[in-house]
């Protein structure tokens, strides 16, 4: 929340694309004059203080794809374009308390089936707060974190973090959420998945440091760089 107060922290990484869950409405985004303004802003949600924001910088442009449905308002397919690279981004904030089937990973499960044709794209990234982890899989439930990972793997789409650090789902050594900002309540809930063609160009994955980010959020960022 209050992204306008934190945007400067991310500018040192010179981002091309930012996916910001729990992001305030663009009308509130009055950046300090020394902070670069985004080239494009997309925002989705009903609460003007907590929606899903996607920002582009440099020579990148972003546009919501027409196939986006209100059934999954906060899981959004986006066309990303630049002079040297075009790809499809599915920005994720898995959070729909109105769905009786489940508010979190169920949303991702439903969305990847609704957007299954997009998953066949040669260049696709899914990124954001999935609010899920294999440790919370429920037996005999079709929609859980492990089955989401399995569906994506069958399409050649993998988590950049798990690939880069050779980690196993559910046994991550680097948390992305510290509940109530407590170091002893760590979870890995945020992900960036990428298709094979982009994974081959993966240069680095950085998980933000708890001590640095604690004053600003209970989450830390995942910073992914492709060549």
Asked whether the beta carbons of 194 and 204 are under 8 A apart, the reply is: no
Tokens of 13: 């990484």
For the stretch 142-199, pLDDT in tens is 889 999 999 999 999 999 999 999 999 999 999 999 999 999 999 999 999 999 999 9
Name the pairing type of β-strands 202-207 and 190-195: unpaired
Tokens of 103: 């508010």
Looking at domain 3-226, its CATH superfamily turns out to be Endonuclease/exonuclease/phosphatase (3.60.10.10)
Tokens of 155: 């399409």
For the stretch 12-55, pLDDT in tens is 899 999 999 999 999 988 877 888 889 999 999 999 999 999 99
pTM greater than 0.75 (yes/no): yes
pLDDT (average), residues 110-125: 95
For the stretch 134-155, pLDDT in tens is 999 988 788 899 999 999 999 9
Please give the pLDDT value at position 96: 93
């Amino acid at each position: 929340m209050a992204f306008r107060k934190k945007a400067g922290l991310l500018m040192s990484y010179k981002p091309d694309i930012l996916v910001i869950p729990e992001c305030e409405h663009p009308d509130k985004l009055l950046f300090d004059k020394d902070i670069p303004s985004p080239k494009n802003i997309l925002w989705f949600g009903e609460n003007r203080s907590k929606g899903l924001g996607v920002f582009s910088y440099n020579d990148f442009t972003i546009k919501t794809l027409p196939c986006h449905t209100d059934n999954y308002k906060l899981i959004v397919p986006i066309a990303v374009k630049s002079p040297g690279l075009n790809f499809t981004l599915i920005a994720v904030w898995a959070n729909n308390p109105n769905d009786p089937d489940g508010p979190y990973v169920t949303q991702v499960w439903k969305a990847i089936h609704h957007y299954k044709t997009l998953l066949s794209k040669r260049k696709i990234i899914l990124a954001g707060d999935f609010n899920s982890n294999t440790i919370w899989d429920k037996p005999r439930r079709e929609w859980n974190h492990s089955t989401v990972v399995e569906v994506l793997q069958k399409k050649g789409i993998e988590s950049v973090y798990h690939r880069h650090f050779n980690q196993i789902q559910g046994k991550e050594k680097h948390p992305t959420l510290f509940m109530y900002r407590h170091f002893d309540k760590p979870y890995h809930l945020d992900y960036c998945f990428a298709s094979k063609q982009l994974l081959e160009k993966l240069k680095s994955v950085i998980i933000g440091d708890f001590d640095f980010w604690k004053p600003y959020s209970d989450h830390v960022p995942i910073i992914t760089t492709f060549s």
